[in-house]
A and B are shown apart, each in its own frame.
Chain A
């Protein structure tokens, strides 16, 4: 089974801090994604990457950046955390030649910014 591992389950950070969320997948998937999940809003795409060092903005990239130095690792960076970034962050991966197979998600990181 594909495993997508997010480094932290819960994080509490202060306003203005730089925050790193890490995600690692073990199935050599080309595509990786960062979503945030908020009640009543579903999952909203922040950034995605289709190859090492490649990144594309999703629907809500403001206040975030990403890094993909290795195929298996996709990091989400909050440059200066704000309270409106308090959310559940989900990482996912997929293979582009198997679009119909859907995504595999990590367990999520619940970030609270105080």
Chain B
């Protein structure tokens, strides 16, 4: 069965620090990969996605993620975080060919950025 692991449940950083949130998945087939973000009091929204091509994908607000197929990983990075990046981040994996039915979400990582 598919599963998604996010390495940290809580991360606390100071402004300008670099961020890397780990995500590993288990699925042997072809996948689409996503990071979603939920800012306090707001709904979940798509941050970035990978479905083919360049394994380094760039999303909104300076975030990027790298798909490493051999490691089944899709880690999220940002070189310099801001206080406004305080949010909960979810990694998600969708198995291609299942009509979008099998998107599995990780448990989430709550990021707090100190001003």
Which residues on A are within 8 Å of B, measured CB to CB? 31, 35, 40-44, 48, 50, 56, 90, 92, 94-96, 99-108
Determine if A43 and B43 form an interchain contact, defined as CB atoms under 8 angstroms apart.
no
Give the chain B neighbours of A50 by CB distance below 8 A: 99, 101
Determine if A42 and B99 form an interchain contact, defined as CB atoms under 8 angstroms apart.
no
Kindly identify, within residues 35 to 56 of chain B, every residue whose CB is under 8 Å from any CB belonging to chain A.
Answer: 36, 42-46, 49, 51-52
A7 to chain B, nearest CB (A): 14
Determine if A42 and B106 form an interchain contact, defined as CB atoms under 8 angstroms apart.
yes
Kindly identify, within residues 95 to 115 of chain B, every residue whose CB is under 8 Å from any CB belonging to chain A.
Answer: 96, 98-101, 103, 105-108
Give the chain A neighbours of B45 by CB distance below 8 A: 105
Task: Check A99/B105 contact, CB under 8 A, given A105-B43, A105-B45, A108-B43.
Answer: no
Determine if B44 and A42 form an interchain contact, defined as CB atoms under 8 angstroms apart.
no
User: In the complex, what distance in Å separates the CA atom of A82 from the CA atom of B20?
Assistant: 39
For this complex, 13 residue pairs linking A to B, each with C-beta atoms less than 8 Å apart, are: A42-B4, A43-B105, A94-B100, A96-B99, A99-B96, A100-B32, A101-B49, A102-B32, A102-B36, A103-B46, A104-B46, A105-B36, A107-B43
Q: Known pairs A100-B52, A102-B32. 4 more at Cβ < 8 A?
A: A42-B6, A90-B43, A103-B103, A104-B46
Kindly identify, within residues 1 to 21 of chain B, every residue whose CB is under 8 Å from any CB belonging to chain A.
Answer: 4, 6, 9
CB closest chain-A residue, reference B108: A42
Determine if B107 and A40 form an interchain contact, defined as CB atoms under 8 angstroms apart.
yes
Task: Check A102/B43 contact, CB under 8 A, given A41-B107, A50-B101.
Answer: no
Q: Is B75 an interface residue (CB 8 A)?
A: no
A75 to chain B, nearest CB (A): 19
Task: Check A43/B90 contact, CB under 8 A, given A90-B44, A100-B51, A108-B43.
Answer: yes
Determine if A48 and B32 form an interchain contact, defined as CB atoms under 8 angstroms apart.
no
CB closest chain-B residue, reference A107: B43
Give the chain B neighbours of A100 by CB distance below 8 A: 32, 49, 51-52, 94
Q: Is B34 an interface residue (CB 8 A)?
A: yes
CB closest chain-A residue, reference B51: A100
